[in-house]
Amino acid sequence: MITEKPNVRSENIDRKSTVEILEIMNEEDKNVPLAVGKEINNIAKAVDEVIKSFKNGGRLIYVGAGTSGRLGVLDASECPPTFSTDKNQVIAIIAGGKNAMFEAIEGAEDDEEAAIADLKEIDVNNRDVVIGITASGNTPYTVSAVKYAKSIGCTTVGISCNLDSLIKNIADIAITPIVGPEIIAGSTRLKAGSAQKLVLNMISTASMIGIGKVYNNYMVDLNPSNTKLRDRAKRIIMDTTGVDEKTAYKFLKESEYKPKVAIIMIKTGLDSKSAQNLLNRCNDSIYQALDHFKREEV
């Protein structure tokens, strides 16, 4: 596997200066976004399936072990504060359970039955999209999860960094950024991990855009649960409507701290409940809601 091979560019790295080591790492890391870029069409296929799943009441489920599993947990955990998603809309399962986030759980990545049991525990169903994340593409836990998910009718995606792997040959959609050998042979938390992080960012973010969680390029569905996020929500309202800070905060409070609703209120003159109802009728999209309101006005 290319992810396990030694990298000729980092030969004798243990005899290099600190600056030389970092320069080698930096040069190798430059290959990561290029490798991901070659997979745009496959990533787009995955995004379209996730959007379809969300609109049908399904979920995005990440499955992985070790670094790959932790990256899935990271991406899933950031969706509720960023997009106000339900905590069960994007789920991450990591081999070995929650403790595996902080320490290596011996043998967890080899437990094929545990993968199936973990999916059953969250009642996986054919409306869900299950994404297996594994640098090698051969991790037994992850491959088993994807196999099971596919057997019950889920759309499955495999993210790996080897050309010919089990998960690539099993999943409905294969995303395979080939980043080459790591500077430390087999340490796939490096380039492979970076590639996986980029792909997960793209899938979750583009999917959220697709279901109306973004207006222009603003995260209008953020959950302003602390001072920093409330300030961000105010700035978003100010930038998208042109009102001053005092007015933005007034509408933010009246909307029960829902920036998207506040924007609709300001742009249409509707009260909070009516603005929310308008969004509900228009696929939760500000653009569609404003277009619908204008047509009704005419």
CB contact at 8 A, 141 and 72:
no
Whether 133 maps to a domain, the answer reads yes
- Same domain, yes or no, for 53 and 182? yes
- For 100-114, letters b (16+ CB in 10 Å) and e give beeeebeebbebbeb
- Same domain, yes or no, for 139 and 178? yes
Say if residue 298's pLDDT is above 70.
no
Could you give the percent of the chain with pLDDT greater than 90?
A: 92
The reported pLDDT for the residue numbered 142 is: 98
- Same domain, yes or no, for 40 and 115? yes
Give me the CATH number covering residue 232: 1.10.8.1080
**Looking only at Cα atoms, what is the longest distance across the chain?**
74
- Same domain, yes or no, for 193 and 275? no
- Same domain, yes or no, for 193 and 58? yes
20 assigned to active site: no
Give me the CATH number covering residue 148: 3.40.50.10490
Q: Which domain holds residue 270?
A: 227-297
> Tens digits of per-residue pLDDT, 85-143?
999 999 999 999 999 999 888 789 999 999 999 999 999 999 999 999 999 999 999 99
Give the CA angle between residues 127, 132, 137 to the nearest 5°: 150
| Domain limit, last residue, from 210, 236, 264 | 210
- Same domain, yes or no, for 206 and 260? no
Name 159's bridge partners: 133, 175
The reported pLDDT for the residue numbered 244 is: 96
**How far is 71 from 196, CA to CA, in rounded Å?**
8
- pTM for this prediction: 0.92
Which of 36-45, 111-120, 224-233 is least confident? 224-233
- Same domain, yes or no, for 84 and 189? yes
- Same domain, yes or no, for 202 and 244? no
CB contact at 8 A, 67 and 97:
no
**Of the residues 28, 39, 49, 109, which is catalytic?**
109
Residue type, 194: S
Whether 43 maps to a domain, the answer reads yes
The reported pLDDT for the residue numbered 225 is: 87
254 assigned to active site: no
Whether 140 maps to a domain, the answer reads yes
The average pLDDT across 153-157 equals 98
DSSP string, 129-170: EEEEE-SSS--HHHHHHHHHHHHTT-EEEEE-SSSS-HHHHH
Name 215's bridge partners: 218
**How far is 296 from 298, CA to CA, in rounded Å?**
5
**Sheet-wide strand order for 155-159:** 90-94, 60-64, 129-133, 155-159, 173-175
Name 90's bridge partners: 60
> Tens digits of per-residue pLDDT, 174-222?
999 999 999 999 899 999 999 999 999 999 999 999 999 999 999 999 9
- Same domain, yes or no, for 189 and 241? no
- Same domain, yes or no, for 46 and 185? yes
- Same domain, yes or no, for 54 and 132? yes
The reported pLDDT for the residue numbered 120 is: 97
Beta-sheet pairing, 173-175 with 155-159: parallel
- Lookup: tokens for 90: 């994007």
List of E strands, the chain = 60-64, 90-94, 129-133, 155-159, 173-175
The reported pLDDT for the residue numbered 137 is: 95
- Same domain, yes or no, for 103 and 190? yes
**Of the residues 4, 78, 112, 254, which is catalytic?**
78
Whether 218 maps to a domain, the answer reads no
CA distances from 184 to 10, 23, 93, 197, 216 (A): 8, 14, 27, 19, 42
